[in-house]
Amino acid sequence: MKIMIVDDEEKIRLGLSKLIVKASADYEIIGVYASGAECLEALRDNQPDVVVTDIKMPGMSGLELAKTIHQLYLHIKCVILSGFGEFEYARTAIAAGVSAYLLKPVDKQELYELLAKLQRENQNSQHAAVPVQEDHLLKNRLLGKTVTQADTASAQQLAGITELSSYCVVVIVTDTVVPRTAFRHWLQPNQPNRIASLELVEMDERTLAMIAVFAAQEEVALHALENHINYILANEHAFQASVGISCTHSHVEELAEGYRESLDAIEINFYSTERCPLSRAAQSQFGTLHRVESYRKRVLESMEILDIAGMELHLREMLREIGAVKIRMNHLIELVETLFYALHKEAGKRQETANQGAAQWDWGNTLKQCFTFGEAKSLIETSLVEGLSLLLNERNVQGAGTIYQIKKIIELEYADSLDLNSLAKRVFLTPSYLSKLFRQETGTTIIEYMISVRMNKAKELLMNQMQLKTYQVGELVGYRDPAYFNKQFKKVVGLTPKEFRDVVS
């Protein structure tokens, strides 16, 4: 018999473990945890026959843990440990699905007798849960896979669909793994009497499809089914769920269409703020990407110049608009990937950050793991801001050196055809960001600084190289057009090149 122990006191956890292991070689301790949350996390991968838990613990109490286990794992028995003052309170725990309770300090003989009793019950019942029999015929039909004529007839019979009946496909997606035995336990015995049959098919560990065949008027039956599912989910707080209901259909060949319609409704629920939203396929209307394109452009522009405040503002506007128009998941993935591609492209210009952070994530899978748009929105905002901050911090560290490098290039190559784009390429920055950084560091623009360097050099030549014509001086400092050189020189110095030479000679 497999056993887990949950107690916030290490001394009690170790003491119980030793007592239980000594009692019988048939008892195996498969987990010892300090909190209910740790225990629930472990139950996803490894389930015991018995959980022994203290009644009072920080955070989740033993009773809350027992109730949650009873909701999700019907075959697991829970034993509550309580102090003398909590004894009457612990006795009420039977209603929460607790199998037994023990008074602390634990009496060894009492513990051994209880464990032996639980082991007998465990062997006799072979677990109370009914094994989930996955129906491949119906699953293949729902997924639209090619089946034989015989398989079609079998699927029709399994689903209870007749020539006179109509049905809908209901899909339930949960935010955590919920054993399908739990859903069968909740749904099958208490299905609305207007539903002739209710077939459950496990699509994956978090997705359950139901084929509900109506025995009465479709709309009345559908409304009764909605109320029934809402009632069940309202009373189960161990997980979140999203429910999609297809349009009504009449032929088994339409099962795949019904399943797709239900998934569309699930996508609409992605944008809901309710704990367990339920939507019909008829309510599934999605917006298009062009509604958010202008916001995306503003986000990218802010990213290009590493303007974090501006990027955050435009990103929030974009995400708010997405929540309002409800774009499809594949469009959301496409949109987000363009943003992080741009971030990765910027990071790639710096070798040390080229393969770091969220820019490298598989955003298709990442977003599909988010149960709600609220989760996705928070993840996108946090990841993009962190990634951009990393780049900005790195650029700021390198900023002074970069500006020094740009100044030296201009001072040495002032006579060449220099422009913002060519300079930006040489220091691995975008033109817009280099322009912003240069102004921040120097208080002037790159063009103004370049003109200043050229004019200072021109004044030197006019004073020291009297044999040079003024147009030759202009050519030597980068101006091929004499008229333009004269105009630019007078604008900066206040005199034409000839007037300046006359004054200083």
φ/ψ of residue 6, rounded to 5: -130, 115
Segment 141-191, tens digit of pLDDT: 898 886 677 667 777 777 778 776 889 999 999 988 776 667 777 776 566
Identify the residue with better confidence: 387 or 495: 495
Q: Which helix (H) or strand (E) covers residue 151, if one does? A: helix 149-159
Please tell me the predicted confidence (pLDDT) of residue 354: 40
**Least trusted range by pLDDT, from 56-60, 88-92, 390-394:** 88-92
Please tell me the predicted confidence (pLDDT) of residue 462: 93
Instruction: State the amino acid at position 233 in one-letter form.
Output: L
End-to-end CA distance of the chain: 107
Which CB contacts under 8 angstroms, 24+ apart, belong to 469-472? 470/497, 470/498, 470/501
Instruction: State the amino acid at position 128 in one-letter form.
Output: A
Segment 412-430, tens digit of pLDDT: 899 998 889 999 888 888 8
pLDDT band of residue 93 (cuts 50, 70, 90) is low
473 vs 85, 183, 470, 479, CA distance in Å?
A: 100, 88, 5, 9
Handedness of CA 189, 190, 193, 195 (dihedral sign): negative
CA distance 413 to 394: 28
Helix (H/G/I), strand (E/B), else coil: 243: strand
pTM: 0.60
CA distance 303 to 237: 41
φ/ψ of residue 296, rounded to 5: -60, -40
CATH match for 2-125 among 3.40.50.2300, 3.40.50.1820, 3.10.129.10, 3.90.1170.50: 3.40.50.2300
CA distance 469 to 466: 8
Cα–chain-centroid distance for residue 357? 15
Which tokens sit at 13?
A: 């956890």
CA distance 229 to 212: 12
Decide if 2 contacts 49 (C-beta within 8 A).
yes
Bond prior to 277 in cis (omega within 30° of 0): no
Q: Label residues 319-337 b or e (16+ Cβ within 10 Å = b).
A: bebbbeebbbbeebbebbb
Residue whose pair of structure tokens reads 């049905």 in the numeric block: 167
365 vs 330, 338, 355, CA distance in Å?
A: 11, 15, 19
Relative to beta strand 50-54, strand 100-103 is unpaired
Q: How many CB atoms lie within 10 A of CB 117?
A: 12
For the chain, the average pLDDT equals 84
Would you say residue 232 has pLDDT above 80? Answer: yes
Q: What CATH code is assigned to 136-283?
A: 3.30.70.270
Strand partners, 412: none
pLDDT band of residue 488 (cuts 50, 70, 90) is very high
Residue 270: DSSP 8-state: T
Please tell me the predicted confidence (pLDDT) of residue 107: 87
Would you say residue 74 has pLDDT above 80? Answer: no
Q: What is the mean pLDDT of residues 121-129?
A: 59
Segment 200-230, tens digit of pLDDT: 888 888 899 999 888 777 788 888 888 888 8
Which tokens sit at 241?
A: 């769920």
**Least trusted range by pLDDT, from 146-150, 253-257, 303-307, 368-372:** 146-150
Would you say residue 124 has pLDDT above 60? Answer: yes
CA distance 275 to 456: 70
Which tokens sit at 232?
A: 């069940």
φ/ψ of residue 238, rounded to 5: -80, -10
Q: What CATH code is assigned to 413-504?
A: 1.10.10.60
Segment 248-270, tens digit of pLDDT: 998 888 999 999 999 999 999 99
CA distance 488 to 500: 13
Residue 126: DSSP 8-state: T
